[in-house]
A and B are shown apart, each in its own frame.
Chain A
Amino acid sequence: MAAMFVQPRQLLRNRPLSFGLGLLTLICLIAIIGPLLVDPTAARVGATIARQPPSPDHWLGTDGQGRDMVTVLIHAMPNTLTIGVVAGLISLTLGVALGLVSGFVGGMVDTIIRVLTDVMMTIPGIAILVLVAANVREMTVGLMAVIVASLSWMVATRTIRAQTLSLRERGYVQVARLNGSSGLKLVFVEVLPNLLPFIAASFVVTVSGAMLATIGLEALGLGPQNQLTLGTTIYWAQFYGAILRGMWWWWGPPIVVISIIFVGLMLTAIGLDSFVNKRLGGHA
């Protein structure tokens, strides 16, 4: 379990990880600092002349409803990122808790959690999400995060359960058990700290899945109303036929931003994987 103690030097030598984290940091910085510098009024419908190609006044042009695209993007990023990260955190917590209980308690509880996980993995997430989202009157960023989280906890549960099962039988856990440690103490002192690398890896995978579901729902027009998000921008571009009308500045930039987010997440996941999974180490 030396994977826990990562030297900064090691981190830099892991090219996918450092590059992925770099991309994500860049996106997060823009999402945090951008809205402080850019006035949101230009992102209102009818704020400028509609359908303008990029110009010195509007670097990325304006959309079909007269919104300045730079402003729209900068104010959309924090909302989409918040949904993805919050949903990721909620489902990670759920996944770690279920995985720990399942792996540690075993028996009937384990069977129920395992079957539930398998069943939920089978059902296409977006189908259920569509059903929920279509039933909600007023969609908000927070509600969206909860909805997405309720369907993204399965991968984390599986990973953590498998690792707990193997950790449970390790020598030092057995020694602690024989020394009379209570179940809770075993879990929190002996098992949980050693799961940290796997939890970190699961977090990235979970956020990635949550982000995918979020942007998919938004692009179907089921995102938060009255709030700018990246997926909703794509939805309106699609709705008003921006591709067919050749207005590349409307749909192109959100695609680039979304792609950078996903590439960053994937590189981070690949990089973390080579830390966690020693067998692939050096090849990633």
Chain B
Amino acid sequence: MYFRYVTRRFGLMLLVIILAVSINFLLPRLMPGDPVEAQLNQLLATGSGGGDISAMVESYRSRFGLDRPLWEQYLSYWGATLRLDLGVSLAAYPERVVDAILAGLPWTLGLLGFATLVSFTFGTLLGGLMGWPRVPRWLQPFGSSVVLLSSVPYFLIGMVLLYVFAIVLRIFPAGGGLPFGIQTGFNWETISAIAMHAALPAASIILAEIGAWALGMRGMMVSVLGEDYISLADAKGLKPRRIFFWYAMRNALLPQLTKLALAMGHIVSGAILVEVIFSYPGIGFRLYQAIQSNDYFVIQGIVLVLSISIAVAMFILDLIYPLIDPRIAAEEA
């Protein structure tokens, strides 16, 4: 049963990856005009670009082999992608796109992982309490305002936080991932510098996400509390705290985990702009810079990596999920 479920989920992940690579391949060919050629011509005309233009044109030609039939181009595109050959940056030639992405990835993963973990934990707890009848009164208005805040795009919250805490109060640095010229090493100084720089971007994502988790959890909590086993636990005279954590929260939590998998794309999309606001050196900021400079291969590479990493992350969540709730694998198989 578990095996069938895993194969299905694996198939879905492969489909997503195939589709992402195909979209990446097809989109530029479907569009009228050719942004890469236009960019290269512009570089040729102004004599700028700081690199060997003919080598760039050469790499562009050999990569796409525009004279060959489409399906042949498609196959060689797959070959190149599998060899992690995503081309070279046009704006920062001869930097390889793979290297640009690898440089940004740890920053993004760290920021997103931390922010998602914190907002999921606290949001779920808050939502559970909001659906629980025996909570202090002040929690409801607090919870409602957090929920409303979650409707606002992450980066707008980021802009306000940046202004208040970095410009007016000057508590946190205004941008970047590390101070200029710092000697990095595994020591307290480096770690605290990283934490200080990540604090505001992480806070914007957390503030915007907590309410979304709380809203979903409150809904689940309300329906779980209507179940008979809750009444039974109550009648047995169990302590409210025990009922809350072990009877209500535990069961209401399951759909939250499915939502985590579905929300991944949304969270990543939101985080891209947060990185832009804080000039945070992750791949979202790199994407923004690439858009600014028409750095086509970098845009393509980052989009591909984003789609694939989300597909893989969802697959991992799908693997864990039936271990927590065996019904899932049973229903799908």
User: Is B160's CB within 8 Å of the partner chain A?
Assistant: yes
Residues of A within 8 A of B288 (CB): 220-221
Q: Given A121-B262, A124-B310, are A262 and B153 also a contact pair (CB < 8 Å)?
A: yes
- Residue in contact with B19 in the complex, picked from A123, A219, A251, CB distance below 8 Å: A123
Closest to A126 in B: B269
| Bitwise interface map of A from 199 to 217 toward B, beta carbon under 8 Å scored 1, else 0 | 0000000001000110110
Instruction: Assess the A220–B162 pair: CB atoms within 8 A.
Output: no
Among residues 104 to 152 in chain B, which have CB atoms less than 8 Å away from a CB atom of chain A? 147-148, 150-152
Residues of A within 8 A of B31 (CB): 135-136
| Bitwise interface map of B from 159 to 179 toward A, beta carbon under 8 Å scored 1, else 0 | 110110001000000100000
- Residue in contact with B27 in the complex, picked from A131, A221, A222, A279, CB distance below 8 Å: A131
Instruction: Assess the B19–A127 pair: CB atoms within 8 A.
Output: no
Shortest C-beta distance, B4 to chain A (Å), equals: 16
Binds B, one of A48-56, A98-106, A171-179, A241-249: A241-249
Instruction: Assess the B299–A134 pair: CB atoms within 8 A.
Output: yes
| Bitwise interface map of B from 283 to 326 toward A, beta carbon under 8 Å scored 1, else 0 | 00001100110101001101100110011001000000000000
| Bitwise interface map of A from 83 to 114 toward B, beta carbon under 8 Å scored 1, else 0 | 00000000000000000000000000000000
Give Cα A267–Cα B148 distance, bound, in whole angstroms. Answer: 8
Residues of A within 8 A of B300 (CB): 131
Instruction: Assess the A131–B299 pair: CB atoms within 8 A.
Output: yes
Q: Given A126-B272, A131-B303, are A263 and B222 also a contact pair (CB < 8 Å)?
A: no
Closest to B152 in A: A259
User: Is A192's CB within 8 Å of the partner chain B?
Assistant: no
Instruction: Assess the B291–A262 pair: CB atoms within 8 A.
Output: no
Q: Given A115-B15, A119-B16, A124-B310, are A130 and B287 also a contact pair (CB < 8 Å)?
A: yes
Q: Given A135-B28, A259-B152, are A121 and B35 also a contact pair (CB < 8 Å)?
A: no
Give the one of A124, A135, A215, A220 with max B CB within 10 A: A124
Closest to B38 in A: A137
Residues of A within 8 A of B56 (CB): none
Give Cα A212–Cα B273 distance, bound, in whole angstroms. Answer: 12
Residues of A within 8 A of B314 (CB): 122
Give Cα A128–Cα B304 distance, bound, in whole angstroms. Answer: 9
User: Is B280's CB within 8 Å of the partner chain A?
Assistant: no
Residues of A within 8 A of B19 (CB): 119, 123
Residues of A within 8 A of B310 (CB): 122-124
The count of chain A contact residues (Cβ–Cβ below 8 Å) is 46
User: Is B77's CB within 8 Å of the partner chain A?
Assistant: no
User: Is A39's CB within 8 Å of the partner chain B?
Assistant: no
Give Cα A226–Cα B159 distance, bound, in whole angstroms. Answer: 25
Give Cα A124–Cα B263 distance, bound, in whole angstroms. Answer: 10
Instruction: Assess the B12–A118 pair: CB atoms within 8 A.
Output: yes
Residues of B within 8 A of A4 (CB): none
- Residue in contact with B167 in the complex, picked from A130, A135, A246, A267, CB distance below 8 Å: A246
User: Is B276's CB within 8 Å of the partner chain A?
Assistant: yes
Give the one of A118, A243, A251, A262 with max B CB within 10 A: A243
Residues of B within 8 A of A121 (CB): 262, 265
Residues of B within 8 A of A125 (CB): 265-266, 269
B residues with a Cβ closer than 8 A to A are: 12, 15-16, 19-20, 23-24, 27-28, 31-33, 35, 147-148, 150-153, 155-156, 159-160, 162-163, 167, 174, 215, 219, 222-223, 226, 262, 264-266, 268-270, 272-273, 276-277, 287-288, 291-292, 294, 296, 299-300, 302-303, 306-307, 310-311, 314
A residues with a Cβ closer than 8 A to B are: 115, 118-119, 121-128, 130-132, 134-137, 208, 212-213, 215-216, 219-222, 234, 238, 243-244, 246, 248, 251, 255, 258-259, 262-263, 265-267, 270, 279-280, 283
A–B Cβ pairs within 8 angstroms, 23 of them: A122-B16, A123-B16, A123-B265, A127-B268, A130-B287, A132-B27, A135-B35, A137-B33, A215-B153, A216-B273, A220-B288, A220-B291, A234-B156, A234-B159, A238-B159, A238-B277, A243-B163, A251-B159, A263-B148, A266-B148, A279-B223, A280-B222, A280-B223
Complex A-B, nearest 8 residue pairs according to Cβ-Cβ distance, in ascending order: A266-B151, A126-B269, A124-B265, A135-B31, A262-B151, A127-B303, A127-B306, A122-B16
